[in-house]
Amino acid sequence: MVSDEHRSFRALYTEHYSAVLGYCLRRVHRDDAPDLVSDTFAVAWRRRTTTPEAEFVLPWLYAIAAKTIANHRRAVGRRSRLIEKARRLTDRRDESPDVQVIRHAEDAAVIDAVARLRPNDREVLLLSAWEGLTSREIASRFGISNDAAEKRLTRAKQRLEAELKRVSKKIDVTPRVARRARKGGTG
């Protein structure tokens, strides 16, 4: 049995789907538009108790679509930056074997240092470094003020720096190790 609420929303969807699709198609790649329309109506469904009067429904849906598109663009930007970072990290063909050995040891030290951080410190650093979020966006994620997010990020960076100093003392990349790597031996 379909409720009146479902019927009402289905009518809203049927009436405005084409307009919202057109709105999205004019702003994003055609392959992305249908997903963004779906996301827009999913948000509208969650906010159905705040649906405005009939004459204002379409502008309301456009506002939701605009925010959905903005989120999509931010995600695409973060994904592009992540792919570029990963490409730079893995594109080391031009490096000599000794530089690769040193870089591998440095990468391992960073991974180890990050793993040793408290979960909240690790999360705030990853949101900033990998996801590319600003302190304002981090504040939103944690439900705290912008100042608190900036302090949290600063403290997390300080803890990471201290951890890196502690971990990096364990790295032994002497010329002997690098020479063995270049010759194909073990270190």
Are residue 117 and residue 67 in the same domain, yes or no?
Answer: no
Are residue 103 and residue 176 in the same domain, yes or no?
Answer: yes
Are residue 174 and residue 105 in the same domain, yes or no?
Answer: yes
Residue 68 in contact with residue 23, Cβ under 8 Å? no
Domain that holds residue 43: 4-83
The residue type of 81 is R
Count structural domains, the chain: 2
Rounded-to-integer distance, Cα 157 and Cα 60, Å: 41
83, 109, 131 — which closes off a domain?
A: 83
Are residue 75 and residue 103 in the same domain, yes or no?
Answer: no
- The pLDDT assigned to 173 comes to 45
In the chain, alpha helices (H): 4-25, 33-46, 57-90, 97-116, 119-129, 135-142, 146-168, 175-183
Q: Higher pLDDT residue, 58 or 179?
A: 58
Tokens of 34: 């249908």
SS3 66: helix
Are residue 99 and residue 69 in the same domain, yes or no?
Answer: no
Is residue 143 assigned to a domain? yes
Q: What percent of the chain has pLDDT over 90?
A: 42
Q: Please identify which residue in the block is written with the tokens 């289905």.
A: 10
End-to-end Cα distance, the chain: 70
- Express each pLDDT in 65-77 by its tens digit: 999 999 999 988 8
- Express each pLDDT in 104-158 by its tens digit: 667 777 778 888 889 889 889 888 887 788 888 888 888 899 999 999 999 999 9
Buried b (16+ CB within 10 A) or exposed e, 142-154: eeeeeeebbebbe
Are residue 13 and residue 74 in the same domain, yes or no?
Answer: yes
Are residue 122 and residue 156 in the same domain, yes or no?
Answer: yes
Is residue 88 assigned to a domain? no
Look up the CATH number of the domain holding residue 114.
1.10.10.10
Is residue 174 assigned to a domain? yes
Q: What is the 3-state secondary structure (H, E, C) of 130-170?
A: CCCCCHHHHHHHHCCCHHHHHHHHHHHHHHHHHHHHHHHCC
Is residue 105 assigned to a domain? yes
SS3 3: coil
Are residue 53 and residue 101 in the same domain, yes or no?
Answer: no
Look up the CATH number of the domain holding residue 38.
1.10.1740.10
Are residue 105 and residue 170 in the same domain, yes or no?
Answer: yes
